[in-house]
């Protein structure tokens, strides 16, 4: 499923329960669904393991069934820039798969994660045969464009509270990450990795958000009480 042989060797077919989490399967005809299900594979990525790496050729279109991934790249000086996190329900890499080019970013597991993959040849077969799949992919690309524009804005923000709020809001995108719902399973350290701040500073920002009833910190995760406020920063 990836350029890392160990993850590829651990791949297996999806269970019925795992297939039920794939958001685009419901858009396919019975014939299209049968072909996709026959091709879909899943594997458990351990913490720190790479799902794909910069410069490696694309072989699969990936989605997160459970866990949390980080999308990032490194510049010539070796500095890492994190683009976004990928929580459950998120499928990514459609632009790379469309062009059949090499990855321009790294995808790494922040915790043990179950990652599904559809071979790039089947991805293109569905594009050629399924209107429903085309609409899903176009919607993904549109949302992804907005996400990366917002990410560039976040990089320029000096206010850490706003950075945390906007980064959290991106992870609660119901179109890109339908598997998240109202509660995101994430630790303060994982969020710190994604935002590029210290865990202590992230804790302070989350406390401020909780005090204004924008989020609620729960055991093992965060619940959003006002996604509008989280996106618009009206609480700051």
Residue 41's Cβ-count burial label (10 Å; 0-12, 13-18, 19+) is middle
3-state SS string for the chain: CCCCHHHHHCCECCCHHHHCCCCCHHHCCHHHHHHHHHHCEEEEECCCCEEECCCCECCEEEEEEECCEEEEEECCCCCEEEEEEECCCCEECHHHHHHCCECCCEEEECCCEEEEEEEHHHHHHHHHHCHHHHHHHHHHHHHHHHHHHHHHHHHCCCCHHHHHHHHHHHHCCCCCCCCCCCEECCCHHHHHHHHCCCHHHHHHHHHHHHHCCCEEEECCEEEECCHHHHHHCCCC
Measured on CA atoms in the order 111, 112, 114, 119, is the torsion positive or negative?
positive
219's tokens: 């055991």
How far, in Å, CA of 236 to CA of 197, rounded? 18
**Mean pLDDT, each 10-residue run in order, the chain (236 residues):** 68 96 96 98 96 94 96 77 88 94 94 97 98 96 80 67 88 90 91 91 94 91 90 60
- What pLDDT was estimated at residue 5? 58
Q: Do residues 45 and 7 make contact, with C-beta atoms less than 8 angstroms apart?
A: yes
- Give pTM, 2 decimals: 0.86
- What pLDDT was estimated at residue 76? 67
Q: Which domains does the chain possess?
A: 5-151 (2.60.120.10), 158-232 (1.10.10.10)
| Residue-wise burial string across 122-132, b where 16 or more C-beta atoms lie within 10 A, e elsewhere | bbebbeeebee
How far, in Å, CA of 165 to CA of 205, rounded? 8
How far, in Å, CA of 36 to CA of 206, rounded? 40
How far, in Å, CA of 189 to CA of 222, rounded? 13
Q: Which of 21, 10, 51, 24 minimizes the C-alpha distance to 123?
A: 24
């Amino acid at each position: 499923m990836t350029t890392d042989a160990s993850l590829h060797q651990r791949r297996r077919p999806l269970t019925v329960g795992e297939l039920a989490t794939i958001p685009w399967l419901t858009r396919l005809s019975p014939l299209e669904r049968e072909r996709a299900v026959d091709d879909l594979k899943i594997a458990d990525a351990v913490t720190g393991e790479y799902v794909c790496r910069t410069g490696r050729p694309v072989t699969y279109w990936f989605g997160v069934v459970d866990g949390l991934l980080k999308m990032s790249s490194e510049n010539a000086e070796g500095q890492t820039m994190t683009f976004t996190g990928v929580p459950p329900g998120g499928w990514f890499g459609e632009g790379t798969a469309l062009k059949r080019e090499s990855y321009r970013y790294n995808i790494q597991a922040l915790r043990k994660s179950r990652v599904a993959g559809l071979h790039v040849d089947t991805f293109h077969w569905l594009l050629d045969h399924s209107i429903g799949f085309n609409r899903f992919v176009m919607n993904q690309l549109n949302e992804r464009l907005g996400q990366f524009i917002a990410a560039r804005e976040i990089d320029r923000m000096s206010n850490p509270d706003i950075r945390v709020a906007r980064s959290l809001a991106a992870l609660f995108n119901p179109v890109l990450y339908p598997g998240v719902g109202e509660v995101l399973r994430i630790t303060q350290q994982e969020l710190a990795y994604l935002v590029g701040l210290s865990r202590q500073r992230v804790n302070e920002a989350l406390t401020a958000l909780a005090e204004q009833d924008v989020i609620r910190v729960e055991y093992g995760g965060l619940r959003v009480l006002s996604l509008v406020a989280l996106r618009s920063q009206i609480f700051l």
